[in-house]
Structures are given as C-alpha cells and as structure tokens.
Amino acid sequence: MVQIQKTIERPDLHPTQQQVWDDKSRFKVLACGRRWGKTLFGCTKCVEVAVNNGRAWWIAPSYKLGRVGWRGVSHLMRQIPGAEPRRGEFLWTLPAGGTVQVRSADDPQSLRSEGLDLAVLDECAYMQEAAWIEALRPALSDRLGEAIFISTPHYRNWFWRLFQRGISGADNWNAWKFPTVTNPFIDPGEIEAARADMPADIFRQEYLAEFLEGEGAVFRNIAACMIAPETRPEEHEGHYKVAGIDWGKHNDFTVISVGCLDCHQEIALDRFNQIDYTFQRARLASLMQMWHVGWILAESNAMGEPIIEQLQYDGLPVEGFQTTASSKPPLIENLALTLEREEWQFLSIPVATAELEAYERKVSAQTGRSSYGAPEGLHDDTVIARALMRRAAGDGGPAIIEIG
C-alpha cells in the first residue's frame, strides 16, 4: 500500500500505471484496453489534488457512466477524517477546502466553471470535443491545471488527434497506449478467451487499444499519398495549375488547395478563419497570382455565391460548385479513388491529414443513399477544398458545373 500525503492509502500501482504517474507532463493521453486500471489511476489523481487543497473534476460522457468514478473516489475519500459527501451534487469536500466532483459531459456548456487544478476525462473518445475545447481547457488556465484523457479508442476522432499530439512530443503533452495485457492483475487466459469470443476489430479496439479506421471511413491509403514535396512557383513555370476553395468565416475555415496538373501534386494549401471576406478575396488573389493558377473551382453554397461573383468581376477564372445531396457524393468519391490509386501526391499537413482520416460515410436506412461529412464537432474544410481541386484537375479547365 502507498500513502498520499500520509493521509490515505491506495493499492500499489502496476508498472504502466506507475510510469504515467511519474511523468511530469501537464496533459496526459492514455489509450487503454479494458480493465487496464484507469478508474483507480484517475480517481487517485483526483483525490491527491483534493488532499492538497485543490479542485478536481472527474468527467464522464454521462452521469450513468460517471457513477464508476464516483464509487472510486468515494472509496478513497472515506479514509479521510472530515471528508463530506454531497451525493446530490456528486461532490466530496475536505475540511481544508479541497474538492472532487463527478460531472457529465452530455451538455458541454454545463461544464463552464471557475478554475480547476485537474480534469480527468474518462472515456473521452465518446464525448463531444466541445467539452474540452470550449469548457474544460479554459477552466485550467488560471491555475495552470492538468488534464488526463483516459479512454478506450473509438475510431479516429478527436481523442485520436490528442493521442497524436501526445506522441508527437508537443510541449507539456505525452501519450501512451496500453493494451489490457499490461495489467498484471488480469489473467492472460481471460484475454485470449475474449479474443475467441469477439469480432477481430472489436477485440483490437477494446483489448489492444488500437485506433481503427471508422466503419464508415471514406479515405484509405492516406499516408502513401501525403508525400508531396514543398516547392516554389518557379519549379512549376509553364505548368497548368488549378485550385479548389471551401469558404468559411467564424467557426469554419476557408481553405484553398492548389494543384499542378503536370506534376499531379498539391503545391499549396492555405487554411484560415475569422478574416473578413474582403481580406479573404485579397489573400486568394495573391495566392492565385503567385502560382499563376489557370482555373479555380469554389463552393458556391450560401455566402460563396456573392464572393464568387465579386472574384469573377475582379477577373479571376473562378467557377462555382453547388454542393448538394446529389453532387457531393461523386465529388468526395473522386478524391477517395485518387488516394486509393495513388494518382496524386498531397502536402503532409497534420490538420488536413486528420480531417481525411476522420471523414465519414453514412447510409440512410430509409433511402439507402450515402452522405458524407466530418464527425460531430470536427471540420472538413480541407477535405472539400482538396476534392474541388481534384475535380478541377480532372475536368482540365473551365466548364459548366452541373448542380445536382
């Protein structure tokens, strides 16, 4: 048994738990197989913070799932003289002022709060990203609080992106992947029995902690195509260049993808938001002039149409593409086929690669028709811009785009 601040005792951590416990990173991402011991680990961290007069939250996708954390925290808190539970609030308070509270992320805006010293996000792969971005991350700022993201993987969503950030060595971030077998208290024979009883992909996700491509994943063979070299305009002098544009302003991004038909390469990708449309047009014009682009295909939905009209008035060779339930599937499928066949090379830009990996296909049970888009809370602006660029390259020059 190990003591925390000579006040409570907890079971000894197994080696991989201890490895994470000793790490000094402010943000820790743990992709864990079932029964790795994440509840013990996370609850003990929360209680440690409270014992040191801090404020910790255990956040679960729902209050039903949060009861697991509540039981773990309560087991430890009952050892502390004077610790008081408020069951209606899922809150424990200590005489010196430290607190641990269990919260639900079903409504991300309800998590807006005063400062936190620690946020433990349990099974966060099943939460909306807004819970972290809009509520919990700001709550850590005034106290320089820490965050621990613990989950079994759930395809390649925002938890996967956090994991990538951790393994990339970003400042104050670290990440680990621990399959169930790394818990020495789980019988290996039971793990093999589970393997025999479960579909292979589910076993890989739930016990091996592997990030799988989504069942509705659209783009495959992505890594093999993200190899376009960085180039300069003079290296493509005399070549025919096209561009695809997806517009955005506030929450979404405007993205411009420029490609060279002679080289079958993406040669520029510009992504920005919260810029007035006047400046967007100027930025676009500068980029088109730099690369001597011969044709531009831009999404014309909503705000796109008046911008395109102004660009045409300014003399830019731009045509509109109206994205509809009929026109979007062939647009996306053309890009998917391009990647599968390795027909083009694209620039290796992490945010754009992540959007390709997360992009989903869903089939309506009523109509049988496919629809495409980013998962809830994620962006697809670079996907659409690249798809439009590839469509422009395939058409080979200005044409009338059918509106489906």
List Cβ<8 Å contacts ≥24 apart for 91-95: 92/50, 94/50, 94/51, 94/53
Share of the chain above pLDDT 90, in %: 47
pLDDT at site 301: 83
Residues 164 and 298 in one domain: no
Which of 363 and 3 is assigned the larger pLDDT?
A: 363
Rounded to two decimals, the pTM is 0.56
pLDDT of residue 212: 75
Residue 403 lies in a domain: no
pLDDT band at 250 (very low <50, low <70, confident <90, very high): low
Quick check: 365 pLDDT over 60?
A: no
- What is the per-residue pLDDT across 278-329, written as a single tens digit (0 to 9) for each? 888 889 999 999 999 999 999 988 778 888 998 999 899 999 999 888 899 8
What is the tens place of the pLDDT at every residue in 180-207? 998 888 888 998 998 887 777 778 888 9
Alpha-carbon gap, residue 103 to 121, rounded angstroms: 10
Q: 58 to each of 25, 92, 102, 110, how far by Cα in Å?
A: 19, 11, 5, 14
Residue 365 phi/psi, 5° resolution?
A: -70, -25
pLDDT band at 394 (very low <50, low <70, confident <90, very high): confident
HEC string for the chain: CEEECCCEEECCCCHHHHHHHHCCCCEEEEEECCCCCHHHHHHHHHHHHHHCCCEEEEEECCHHHHHHHHHHHHHHHCCCCCCEEEHHHCEEECCCCCEEEEEECCCHHHHCCCCCCEEEEECHHHCCCHHHHHHHHHHCCCCCCEEEEEECCCCCCHHHHHHHHHHCCCCCEEEEEECHHHCCCCCHHHHHHHHHHCCHHHHHHHCCCCCCCCCCECCCCHHHHCCECCCCHHHHCCCCEEEEEECCCCCCCEEEEEEECCCCEEEEEEEECCCCHHHHHHHHHHHHHHHCCCEEEEECCCCHHHHHHHHHHCCCCEEEECCCCCCHHHHHHHHHHHHHCCCCECECCHHHHHHHHHCEEEECCCCCCEEEECCCCCCCHHHHHHHHHHHHHHHCCCCCCCCC
Whether residue 217 lies inside any domain: the answer is no
Q: Considering the domain boundaries, does residue 211 fall inside one?
A: no
As a whole number of angstroms, the distance between CA 81 and CA 96 comes to 11
- Least confident stretch, 25-29, 168-172, 378-382: 168-172
11-15, 118-122, 157-161: least confident range: 11-15
What's the pLDDT band for 174 if we cut at 50, 70, 90? very high
What pLDDT sits at residue 370?
Answer: 67
Taking residue 375's Cβ as centre, other Cβ atoms within 10 Å add up to: 18
366 and 303: one domain?
yes
The mean pLDDT of 335-352, rounded to a whole number, is: 92
Both 186 and 239 in one domain: the answer is: no
Q: For the CA atoms of 204, 209, 213, 214, what is the dihedral angle to 10 degrees?
A: 90
Same domain for 61 and 179, yes or no, is yes
* 201 and 105 within one domain: yes
Mean pLDDT of 338-360: 90
Using only C-alpha atoms, what is the Rg of the chain?
25
Same-domain check for residues 180 and 299: no
Are 123 and 235 in the same domain?
Answer: no
What pLDDT shows up at residue 1?
A: 47
Residue where one domain finishes, among candidates 155, 181, 206: 206
Instruction: Kindly state whether residues 297 and 376 are assigned to the same domain.
Output: yes
Domain boundary among 155, 174, 206: 206
Q: What residues make up the domain containing 257? A: 222-395
Q: Same domain, yes or no, for 144 and 272?
A: no
Q: Are residues 131 and 19 in the same domain?
A: yes
User: How confident is the model over 234-246, as a mean pLDDT?
Assistant: 96
CATH number of the domain bearing residue 107 = 3.40.50.300
In contact, 225 and 342? CB cutoff 8 Å = yes
pLDDT for 110 equals: 87
* Mean pLDDT over each residue of the chain, to the nearest integer: 86
Span 222-244, average pLDDT: 95
Specify whether 195 is located in the same domain as 226: no
pLDDT at 68 over 80: yes
Residue 401 domain flag: no
Domain membership of residue 216 (yes or no) is no
pLDDT at 385: 96
* 146 lies in the same domain as 6: yes
Is residue 65 very low, low, confident or very high in pLDDT (cuts 50, 70, 90)?
confident
pLDDT of amino acid 60: 92
Number of domains observed in the structure of the chain? 2
Q: What is the CATH number of the domain that holds 362?
A: 3.30.420.240
Residue 280: the pLDDT is: 83
Question: Does 256 map to a domain?
Answer: yes
Average of per-residue pLDDT across 198-220: 77
Of 156, 182, 206, the position where a domain reaches its end is 206
Name the residue among 51, 52, 92 with its Cα closest to residue 69.
Answer: 92
Q: Is residue 262 part of a domain?
A: yes
Confidence of residue 268 (pLDDT cuts 50, 70, 90): very high
| Mean pLDDT to the nearest integer, 35-39 | 88
Q: Evaluate whether residue 215 is within a structural domain.
A: no
